[in-house]
Amino acid sequence: MSLPRTSPDEVRGKVSTSPEANYTLAVLSLIYVLNYADRGVLSLLLDSIKKDFHVSDTVMGLIAGFGFVLFYSLLGLPIARWADRFNRRFILATGLAVWSVMTCFSGLARGAWQLALTRLGVGAGEACGIAPAHSMLADLYPKEELPRALSILTAGSRVGAFAGSVLAGVVNQYYGWRAAFIAAGAPGIAVAILFRLTVKEPARGAMETGGASTRLLPLGQTFLFFLRQRSFLFITLGGTLMGVTLYGFEVWTPAFLHRVHHLGSARIGTYQGAVVGVFGLAGVLLGGFFTEWLGKRDVRWRLNVPAAASLLAGPMYLLFLFLPSLPATLACWALATVCTSAYMGPIFAVYQMVSKIRMRALASATFLFFGNLLGLGMGSWAIGWLSTALRPRYGATSLRYSMVLPGVLPLAAALLFWIGSRYLADDIARAAAPDSGSEAHAAPSN
């Protein structure tokens, strides 16, 4: 059976985008900047904190991974369910204030346990951020423009990584790691107030031009619907593998450059800011552009673009780890970052397209749960554990060999995204269809 060249939402017609939608996207993108600046600061400060607290790579991997991701993942699902029912603007503003304050408190930690507790607080606050933002944009942009809108939003993560890396590197070198945390967290408090006062809560289903239901299905029926969406399953598996790669390299690359290439923190911060910020930003925007352009011709490209990007990322990461020349290493890092960043916006957009209106925040949170718990949590810990285990044999270069694991996973992720694209058109149509059977008797929307 051949798949349609266009998706059902494009057949029904387009809905115009308002200036209010663009303003909301701009402020949400600014929040994304702060989100990734706050969480990314720790990776650049790992070696400084390790020296101060006298702990191992395994402990720092736990703090950087599970210390953040535990509450972020566990709270993400109930908060997303709350966002599918109640006011998303309030949830997001509150979360921003919480994670900003807890980032400042990270600079006051006097030991590894205190730092781990503050990272739990950062994770709890950031659990309120991404899924509600995705749901809001799905009600502000028509589906054919959603990959671009979510890519612009995701571009904030690259800008945040750039700003956080440069800020942390410079402040750490001249004022210490404690001051770096406080400098990263303070701006978020003001932005939380701005967001709460100037952004409106969008109407549910405002961009739907068909008979899509705005009812809130029971939780069991919601997850059953997800399980029946085969593209949802494949992109969740592929996205989880890419999460191990993305977060593993973001957390441990500064330490790798310090130990293997003997760079100082200010120089590492500048390189990381340029690579993750500039090239990451380019990758996110290119991924959104090509997905929107090619997706209008064949809906399968909405997952085939992430598949192609993932396929190219793996070899670049492996070259980054083993090339002896620093310029060549940085060039491969830049290319790998372009490819890794290109998959994120399109994937987030697909989650919104294959989910019904009142389950969109939960759809994003489900992906983030697995991607962060296994990617940032298990992935960061596994790299640290392997580095510690290999240190007697390889010395300071043990980190290089422990990072091979996340370097090869994009190849498997590419295959999973490609398989998921085969089911995408049918899954989008199913999500846009009116409720039937028991779904029609679900709890009414609020």
The enclosing domain of 282 has a CATH number of 1.20.1250.20
More confident site: 379 or 185: 185
The verdict on residue 13 lying in a domain is no
Residue in the structure block whose two tokens are 């972020």:
72
Q: How many residues does the chain have?
A: 446
The verdict on residue 445 lying in a domain is no
Split at pLDDT 50, 70, 90, the class of 12 is very low
The verdict on residue 416 lying in a domain is yes
- Which of 157-161, 284-288, 305-309 bottoms out in mean pLDDT, i.e. has the lowest? 157-161
395: left (phi over 0), alpha (psi -120 to 50) or beta: left
The number of domains in the chain is 1
CB 361 within 8 A of CB 88: yes
Split at pLDDT 50, 70, 90, the class of 330 is very high
Q: What is the mean pLDDT of the chain?
A: 83
Q: How many CB atoms lie within 10 A of CB 174?
A: 10
Domain region containing 99: 19-201+215-433
Split at pLDDT 50, 70, 90, the class of 281 is confident
Average pLDDT over residues 307-324: 94
The verdict on residue 138 lying in a domain is yes
CA atoms within 13 A on the CB side of 364: 31
pLDDT for residue 423: 94
More confident site: 318 or 278: 318
Alpha-carbon distances of 8 from 86, 208, 239, 250, 299, rounded to whole Å: 28, 11, 25, 38, 10
The verdict on residue 129 lying in a domain is yes
Over 60: is that where the pLDDT of 200 sits? yes
Over 90: is that where the pLDDT of 28 sits? yes
Split at pLDDT 50, 70, 90, the class of 275 is confident
CB 128 within 8 A of CB 193: no
More confident site: 198 or 158: 198
For the stretch 97-141, pLDDT in tens is 998 999 999 888 888 888 888 888 888 888 888 889 988 998 898
DSSP assignment, residue 438?
G
Q: Is the pTM here over 0.85, yes or no?
A: no
The verdict on residue 220 lying in a domain is yes
The verdict on residue 341 lying in a domain is yes
| Spatial distance between the Cα atoms of 359 and 412, rounded to a whole number of angstroms | 28
pLDDT for residue 276: 76
Share of the chain above pLDDT 70, in %: 91
Q: Which of the given ranges, 153-157, 162-166, 370-374, has the highest pLDDT on average?
A: 153-157
| Spatial distance between the Cα atoms of 91 and 266, rounded to a whole number of angstroms | 36
| Spatial distance between the Cα atoms of 100 and 418, rounded to a whole number of angstroms | 38
